[in-house]
Structure 1
Amino acid sequence: MTTYTASWLRHTALGITTAVLISGCSTLHNASEPAPVTSADESHINLDTLYAEGKYNARGVGPTRWLADGSGYTVLESAANGGHDLVRYHPETQQRTLLVKADEVRPSANEEPLHIADYSWSEDGDKLLIFTNTKRSWRTHTLGDYWVFDLNSKRLQKLGGQAEPSTLQFAKFDPQGNRVAYVMKNNIYVEELANSRITQLTRDGNDTIVNGTFDWVNEEEFFLRDGFRWSPDGKSIAYWQLDTEGTPLFTMINNTDALYPTLKQFPYPKVGETNAAMRIGVMPASGGKTTWMKVPGDARQHYLVRMQWAGNSQQLLIQQLTRSQAVNKAYLANAKSGAVRELLQETTDSWAEYVDDVQFIDQGQAFTWLSERSGFRHIYVVQRDTGRLSTITRGNWDVIEVLQINPKTGWVYFIASPETPLERYLFRASLDGSGKLERLTPDQPGTHSYQLSADAKYAVHTFSDVNTMPVVDMISLPDHQSIRVIKDNNQAQDAFDKLKRGMFEFFQVEARDGLKLDGFLMKPADFDPNKKYPIVFYVYGEPWGQTVSNSWGGERFMFHNYLTQQGYLVASVDNRGTRSPRGFEWRRSIYKNLGVITVRDQYDALQAMLDRWAFIDANRVGIWGHSGGGSQTLNALFRYPDAYHVGMALAPVPDLTLYDTIYQERYSGLLPESAASYRETSAITHAKNLQGDLLLVHGTGDDNVHFQGSERLVNELVKHGKQFDYFAYPNRTHGIAEGEGTTQHLRTMMIEFLKQNLPLN
């Protein structure tokens, strides 16, 4: 259920640098704006212009990379003869330099230039690693072909020898830029660039032994995909190995793509089932025996969630979570002997967070750490010899995302919002523990994101708020002065600005125990405070999402604007437990209470809003959500049937035991001791209480939240004689987006369902 995630985890493309991307965007740096669309009435949203023509689509720039030497950032630009040129821009002067022509990455004179899905640079910047011809492994495109282009010799070479197309994963240069390691069919290989000689490092990879990558559940819930690391000296490779033997196989059926149904099976551990065994080993990069790290504990009852070289080529830093995820232990492991030493641990009564933003400093004698031990998420420095922690940031606010730790300048750069959980700003703090803290973002309310250069003197900066589509510019730091606008989305913004819209406002209400909850309310353009209006709530409510923020809302926001133009009020409230930067207690308060206290907060918010605003019609209340929001929608309808009259549940988890071990056990506990809690918190237990009108929608090809759950809910509703509307999208996955016209079809269905069952008059 981690489809909708907040920006608490930073992901890097090819393990090198962070791409400059805006959600849902793939337009290249100088790609033209969409062609103007004429409409009979530009003040009203037309579903064809919204979905089929993309009139209001905000587009970004990407993939974009900062060069390690600080000489600029690189972007792809459309070439005159097809393909894309790779261009460098100087951050200060914005001087443009053509580094790689599209014609230079043609495999042959008769072939088209490579379609560059992603790329990375060797450390010296002389070689370019190109990822192309991609396809999905699990839920992301990690399979593909890799090519190396040498900027000096102009040589283009394909990696993998005679490998089948689209079978390589996670290719990356060694620190010297002379070799590339990659995964192919669950084994790790190293290829020398000078002579294309390939050395197979592991040979036991098969359907159940996985080397250098991961199974479905670890990719989805721990974001573990790339499963190996070059040592800093290039002599060794550390890697994960998984044994999925014993993990039950989930079977999916495809009824539409062939004359007869086809089946797909993959290991998927549901709550209480057997996890893959995980271990970490180190082997010579030239081939040889693996030394396994002697991390204590049952390999199937623990997770090895993070691993990296510990500031040298002799030791690893490994983070290990217990299966309940209540304890995260950090170990130093000897790469030669496998011996480990525990350095520190984070222990909670619910779940502990693993740490992505670890960097060794002070010549490797210390490393950075994030912890919630103070009650809020803050940055610390840990001494590697003693495990002693020193506080870098402090206060009753959360560090949301660490962007860069720069030992040379003595600063750590991060995103936070101490005054309000609705916005995001750039700060920096001194690494010396002095407590020095500076806010670098100017007083511009909204959401700010950054991709910093290696020296943190420049950044690609993206800004948006609820009425402003993302604007991307180059800025200097620390003064935060804009140098050049890179992408302004003026045409789409202009189309949006012409729309007839009502007031959008943020508000706060109190739950029954006095806890303040953030929300937003959208009103019709011709709003009359003396009338009664039906209201539609959008809900997510799970620990991996925040719906109320001062940021551009994309397609869903435009859909909600469409509803207000029809005459509906639209609202959303973040209940406790959502991934809002409001401290440890806020986030952990829903432990073993998903679907109970979360939906109680939603109900309390509705009651407070009815007391505050007489224009809300208490007899016409709707609610909808996707994934975890679909689950919350079901719980609202079933637990508070007198309060919610219409619900639209998309891809829900009606029975929590049907979801995967890592996500669900983290928030709901382990079986068998938490069996009663699972029954109580699952919506299906309360399905007999349905009184309102329900639309249930699911994709039959959902490999994340399985169609199986909705089928079980159907049986339960039928058993109790409950009538409802039900729609299954063949072979659509969790986002229900594949196939021409799918999104527009889904939204049209939702609109018609609302108009029929939540009438406007």
Structure 2
Amino acid sequence: MKRNIIALVTVILIGYQSEAQSNKTLSLEDIYKNNVYQQKGFGPVRWMKDNKGYSTLESNAKLEGKDIVKYEAKSGKRTVLVSASQLIPKNKNEALIISDYQWSNDDSKLLVFTNTKRVWRYNTKGDYWVLDLVTNTLKQLGADLPESTLMFAKFSPDASKVAFVSELNIFVQDLKTNTVNQLTKDGGDHIINGTFDWVYEEELSCRDGFRWSPDGEHIAYWQSNTEGVGTFYMINNIDSIYSKPIPMPYPKVGTTLSSVKVGVIPVKGGETKWFDIPGDSRNNYLARMDFIPNSNEVMVQQLNRPQNQNKVWVGDIETMKLNNILTETDDAFLDIHDDIRWLDHEKYFTWSSERDGWLHLYKVSRNGEEIQPITKGNFDVVNINNIDVKGGYVYYIASPDNFTQRYLYRSKINGKGKAERITPENQVGQSKYQISSDAKWAIQTFENTTTPSIYSLVSLPAHKSVRVLEDNSALKQKYDVLGVNNKEFIKVNIGDDVLDAWMIKPKDFDASKKYPLFFYVYGEPAGSTVQDNWAGGDLWHHYIADQGYVVISVDNRGTKTPRGRDWRKSIYGQIGILASEDQSKAATEILKTYNFLDSERVGIWGWSGGGQMTLNCMFRYPEIYKAGLAVSFVSDQRLYDATYQERYMGLLEDNAKGYYDGSPINYAQHLEGNLMVIHGTADDNVHYQSYEMLVDRLIKYNKLFSMMSYPMRSHSIHERENTSYHLRETMEKYWKEHLPAGGK
């Protein structure tokens, strides 16, 4: 239930000026139907290998297509590297639509991803074309293969070949001869080569499942065998006169996982050699694998099923010998980090760990015997942006003093000295950075709750602004004229801890009146709701506030915030239990603190993990919450996928009571207030089954409630015409009927 926090609280923003906007009135129609509030992005950006400039996409003045242009960082000089006219295939009149692109190592060739299709959450299937910039020739890869079936195409190190996945097999195409060589032939049915099953993608962020060796002679890849994994069936009842079952292998809590292994195959073809990694292949995860630069060795990270032990193996692709160089353990759970960089001619690598109670970066010797801290202090490193070996610094995001914000820091790779903040003190909010490899330049994205994304080119380490690339000023003006009350960040002392929260008051707020209290909740370890970021303007909650509600969101213990290991892992084994207790204590404290809140009108809503939390709060603390709305929720934790749920709850046989107590379905008999439940019938993440089982239980206990199903909509309930607008109008209607608005 990673559960798409940002996607659930933001809006789809595309837009134009409306009458409602000119009248300074925020409407659901403008947000979800007319799509007035568009935020412009910038990019995608690729820093050039000389670090003197970057490439990006811009519309061609004459053609329906995009040019790839280069800007010199210092001067701003613009050069068209690839014109849309060069991306028009023979016998076609239109240029390729660039969904993504990559340069070869020598910049002589361009790989273009186009005509994409969605696989689960992401568009990872499509067509690939290669433009040879020397000969100015454009050719399609795998032209004889089925359309839009290619995945994860990558140049070989010398750019003479491209490897890709199609229909669960790995192929290599020679760019000189155009010969396509199919390396694996057993893909299909329950065998997956070079990519992953649903749960690896969703919970371990594994999608691209193969790697070129540094010498370009071999490919290492994952193979998954889903035989024995339980099949879940979704049903399509609306696209034909007969229903169509949609099967998907989906390992639920305590059931069989896919068998996964890593093998190596010569690019010229032949047999795959498999690493014999110790342990049951169905009760361990091979969560990461990559080649060590300038070697014939791969590094593999193996998580055990409870995900509290990560064994790091180094395997030689010639001898297939394995060495366990590092083992990370935790009393609760471990997260996988993508922070490995090789240093000192591959004698050391960087490694993220919470071993001292905070998430920090370490320098580890190749044999694992030396482990030295690089970053130090009572703060978490949120993510690594750049390791500048020549300059001697690592650049990273952190926020030691305010857990709702994010800033750029740097520390010396040798571990000496203190962390140095790079983001200026006057840029209060959250910043992200795309840094050139020499750490002299960066594209900064700055935002906060009242400021949509501002993209700027800055020089480092002084953080001097060179030029603004996109400021979203038009959107900022639209937002400002709405006259909404900004989010107020507050602290809530629940006795056990002090929690971060935000509050939005109605436009016409009158402190002498009492207003209904409307909680927005998530509460699980995969995300956080209390962040000083734009989040699409959070227009849904501003709209609700202006109907006459005070909207509040609280981050309970265990949410994904940079407050240290103990904070994040306090929730271990008690998902739904500790969080709902914290939320109830926060609600009680908030009602005592603010006299303008009406304790008889308290509502709560959430999506996904937040939907589960809504149900737990409603059922476990009925004396507090008078109305609730749960969307796309898990009602019984045993119904969710094994990888997510077992990470945070432990194995079912070890924590049966925790699974029972944390599942709201087991407390449905305590419902007293008004409840509405909403779900999409094609939810591949949190299955519609969870909704139906709760409905069945509520009927058993003769509990009256409201319900809404969205046929063939997924976890985010946005597909098909008018869905988002209809959903939000349905939600608004429910709130106004069951949690009367306005100050009294």
Q: Give the TM-score range, shorter chain.
A: over 0.9
Corresponding residue number in structure 1 for 2:51: 70
Corresponding residue number in structure 2 for 1:249: 231
Q: Answer yes or no: is the 8 Å Cα contact 1:394–1:435 preserved in 2.
A: no
Q: Distance in 2 between matches of 1:386 and 1:587?
A: 27
Written as runs of structure 1 = structure 2, the 5 A alignment for 1:714-753 is 714-753=695-734
Q: Answer yes or no: is the 8 Å Cα contact 2:265–2:271 preserved in 1.
A: yes
Deviation at 1:146, TM superposition (A): 0.5
Deviation at 1:24, TM superposition (A): 7.8
Q: Distance in 2 between matches of 1:285 and 1:40?
A: 58
Q: Distance in 1 between matches of 2:301 and 2:6?
A: 22
Corresponding residue number in structure 1 for 2:608: 627
Q: Distance in 2 between matches of 1:570 and 1:637?
A: 17
Pick from 489, 508, 531: which aligns with 1:506?
489
Matched, 1:492 2:475: yes
Q: Answer yes or no: is the 8 Å Cα contact 1:6–1:579 preserved in 2.
A: no
Q: String of CA shifts for 1:225-251, please: whole Å, max 9, x gaps.
A: 000111111111111111111111111
Corresponding residue number in structure 2 for 1:370: 352
Q: Distance in 1 between matches of 2:348 and 2:577?
A: 43
Corresponding residue number in structure 1 for 2:172: 190
Corresponding residue number in structure 2 for 1:381: 363
Q: Distance in 2 between matches of 1:658 and 1:316?
A: 36
Pick from 331, 353, 360: which aligns with 2:313?
331
Deviation at 1:208, TM superposition (A): 1.0
Q: Distance in 1 between matches of 2:369 and 2:153?
A: 34
Given the two structures, how large is their TM-score scaled by the length of structure 1? 0.95
Q: Distance in 1 between matches of 2:70 and 2:491?
A: 46
Q: String of CA shifts for 1:550-588, please: whole Å, max 9, x gaps.
A: 111216x11111111111100000000000000000011
Q: Answer yes or no: is the 8 Å Cα contact 2:6–2:535 preserved in 1.
A: no
Corresponding residue number in structure 1 for 2:397: 415
Task: Describe the SS at the equivalent of 1:136.
Answer: strand
Task: Describe the SS at the equivalent of 2:119.
Answer: coil
Corresponding residue number in structure 2 for 1:4: 4
Task: Describe the SS at the equivalent of 2:735.
Answer: helix
Q: 1:298 to 1:127 in 2, by over 3 A?
A: same
Q: 1:26 to 1:404 in 2, by over 3 A?
A: farther
Corresponding residue number in structure 1 for 2:203: 221
Corresponding residue number in structure 2 for 1:30: none
Q: String of CA shifts for 1:38-71, please: whole Å, max 9, x gaps.
A: 4375322022222222222322123222222224
* Residue correspondences, number: 739
Deviation at 1:97, TM superposition (A): 0.7
Q: Distance in 1 between matches of 2:417 and 2:374?
A: 6
Q: Distance in 2 between matches of 1:87 and 1:327?
A: 46
Matched, 1:85 2:67: yes
Q: Answer yes or no: is the 8 Å Cα contact 2:13–2:36 preserved in 1.
A: no
Q: Answer yes or no: is the 8 Å Cα contact 1:503–1:524 preserved in 2.
A: no
Given the two structures, how large is their TM-score scaled by the length of structure 2? 0.97
Q: String of CA shifts for 1:391-420, please: whole Å, max 9, x gaps.
A: 101111100011112222222111000111
Corresponding residue number in structure 2 for 1:560: 541
Task: Describe the SS at the equivalent of 1:472.
Answer: strand
Which range moves more in the overlay, 311-320 or 116-125? 311-320
Q: String of CA shifts for 1:591-611, please: whole Å, max 9, x gaps.
A: 111111101101111111111
Corresponding residue number in structure 1 for 2:384: 402
Q: Distance in 1 between matches of 2:221 and 2:730?
A: 47
C-alpha RMSD over aligned residues? 1.7
Whichever residue aligns with residue 74 of structure 1, its letter is S
Matched, 1:475 2:458: yes
Task: Describe the SS at the equivalent of 1:142.
Answer: strand
Deviation at 1:139, TM superposition (A): 2.1
Written as runs of structure 1 = structure 2, the 5 A alignment for 1:508-523 is 508-513=491-496, 515-523=497-505
Q: Answer yes or no: is the 8 Å Cα contact 1:393–1:435 preserved in 2.
A: no
Q: String of CA shifts for 1:76-124, please: whole Å, max 9, x gaps.
A: 1112221111111111211111111112111124432111111111011
Pick from 29, 32, 51: which aligns with 2:32?
51
Q: 1:282 to 1:5 in 2, by over 3 A?
A: farther
Q: Distance in 1 between matches of 2:134 and 2:228?
A: 50
Q: Distance in 1 between matches of 2:30 and 2:120?
A: 32
Pick from 314, 318, 339: which aligns with 1:357?
339
Q: Which runs of 5+ in 2 are unaligned?
A: none
Corresponding residue number in structure 1 for 2:435: 452
Matched, 1:647 2:643: no
Q: Distance in 2 between matches of 1:520 and 1:336?
A: 57
Q: String of CA shifts for 1:478-501, please: whole Å, max 9, x gaps.
A: 111111111111111101101122
Corresponding residue number in structure 2 for 1:19: none
Q: Distance in 1 between matches of 2:419 and 2:490?
A: 29
Matched, 1:343 2:325: yes
Q: Distance in 1 between matches of 2:452 and 2:138?
A: 39
Q: Answer yes or no: is the 8 Å Cα contact 2:449–2:486 preserved in 1.
A: no
Q: Distance in 2 between matches of 1:583 and 1:86?
A: 42
Q: Answer yes or no: is the 8 Å Cα contact 2:451–2:476 preserved in 1.
A: yes
Q: Answer yes or no: is the 8 Å Cα contact 2:635–2:665 preserved in 1.
A: yes
Whichever residue aligns with residue 131 of structure 1, its letter is F
Matched, 1:107 2:89: yes
Q: String of CA shifts for 1:658-679, please: whole Å, max 9, x gaps.
A: 0101000001111223222211
Q: Distance in 2 between matches of 1:62 and 1:258?
A: 41
